[in-house]
């Protein structure tokens, strides 16, 4: 059974600092890994999706890396802003199914 | 891009009543939809897989008689929480698989259920 762990559970930084969020998974037989953002009381917003054959994906200030063999992904957010405050979830899709396994998330607070 | 719509986004119901949540794929046919539940400060947990025209497949520990799932068409799946209790209060979110677009999975906006 796939286990997805996100560390740290919470993070508070001053505006302008770079953010580093970690996600690890136990079964490397994945199809892809996806990072989501969830604002309080809201649904999920997909940020980046990395296919198993890829090493990284970038979108604006966001960069996600994937090391499938070691079961790790990292989400980097450059020059953080108060608007980046949210919970960030990573989810892994297995290579032989469509069911996603989610981490518990990292709650980020960016202080102005 | 593809859109999955969930309705209602928020619902409050009395203990003992039933409540239905709809999940619709708006511009693609979804042969498979998934229902997840999220308790406060916890991750999303898969409840069941909904297959069009057949019975849903429930994850271990999920009561199929309490959480009724119907996937009557290629664009609609419904989750009915029967005889709701306060402990059923949670965030419920669906996702749908677009088989014609590389099996991309799209998520709905989620539904907040509060049972009083």
Give the per-residue pLDDT at B2. 61
Q: Is B81 on the interface with A (CB under 8 A)?
A: no
| Dihedrals phi, psi of B13, to nearest 5 degrees | -135, 160
**Chain A (38-97) residues lying within 8 Å, Cβ to Cβ, of chain B:** 41-44, 46, 89, 91, 93
Q: What is the pLDDT of residues B37-83, one digit of tens each?
A: 998 878 899 999 998 888 899 999 999 999 999 998 999 999 999 99
Which of A38, A98, A105 to probe by mutation at the B interface, max B CB count within 10 Å? A98
What does the buried/exposed string (b/e) look like for B45-59 if buried means 16 or more CB atoms within 10 Å of the residue's CB? ebbbbbebeeebebe
**Residues of chain B above pLDDT 70, percent:** 98
User: Strand, helix or coil at B35?
Assistant: strand
The dihedral region occupied by B61, where left means phi > 0, alpha psi between -120 and 50, and beta the remainder, is: left
β A106-111/A10-14 pair status: parallel
Task: Tell me the mean pLDDT in the region A65-80.
Answer: 97
Of A7, A6, A8, A16, residue with least CA distance to A83: A16
Sign of CA dihedral A79, A66, A22, B93: positive
Alpha carbon distance B74, A88 (integer Å): 31
| Closest-CA residue of chain A to B37 | A102
Q: Is B50 on the interface with A (CB under 8 A)?
A: no
User: Are B23 and B36 contacting, i.e. CB atoms less than 8 angstroms apart?
Assistant: no
User: From the CA of B70, how many Å to the nearest CA of chain A?
Assistant: 18
Q: To the nearest 10°, report the CA torsion of B58, B59, B61, B62.
A: -40
Q: What is the pLDDT of residues B5-32, one digit of tens each?
A: 999 999 999 999 999 999 999 989 998 9
Q: Is A5 on the interface with B (CB under 8 A)?
A: no
Q: What is the pLDDT of residues A85-96, one digit of tens each?
A: 999 999 999 998
Contacting residues of A for B41, CB less than 8 Å apart: 104
């Amino acid at each position: 059974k796939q286990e997805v762990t996100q560390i740290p559970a919470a993070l508070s930084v001053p505006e302008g600092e770079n953010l580093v969020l970690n996600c690890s998974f136990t079964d490397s037989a994945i199809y892809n890994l996806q990072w989501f953002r969830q604002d309080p009381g809201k649904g999920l917003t997909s940020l980046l999706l990395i296919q198993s054959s890829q090493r990284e994906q970038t979108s604006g200030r966001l960069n996600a890396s994937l090391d499938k063999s070691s079961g790790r992904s990292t989400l980097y957010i450059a020059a953080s802003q108060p608007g980046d405050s949210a919970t960030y979830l990573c989810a892994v899709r297995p290579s032989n199914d469509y069911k996603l396994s989610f981490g518990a998330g990292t709650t980020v607070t960016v202080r102005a | 891009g593809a859109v999955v719509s969930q309705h209602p986004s928020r619902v409050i119901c009395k203990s003992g009543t039933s409540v239905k949540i709809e999940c619709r794929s708006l511009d693609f046919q979804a042969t498979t939809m998934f229902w997840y539940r999220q308790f406060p400060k916890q991750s999303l947990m898969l409840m069941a897989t909904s297959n069009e025209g057949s019975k849903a497949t429930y994850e271990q520990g999920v009561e199929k008689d309490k959480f009724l799932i119907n996937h009557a068409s290629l664009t609609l799946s419904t989750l009915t929480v029967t005889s709701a209790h306060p402990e059923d209060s949670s965030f419920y979110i669906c996702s749908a698989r677009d088989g014609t677009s590389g099996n991309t999975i799209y998520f709905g906006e989620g539904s907040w259920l509060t049972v009083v």
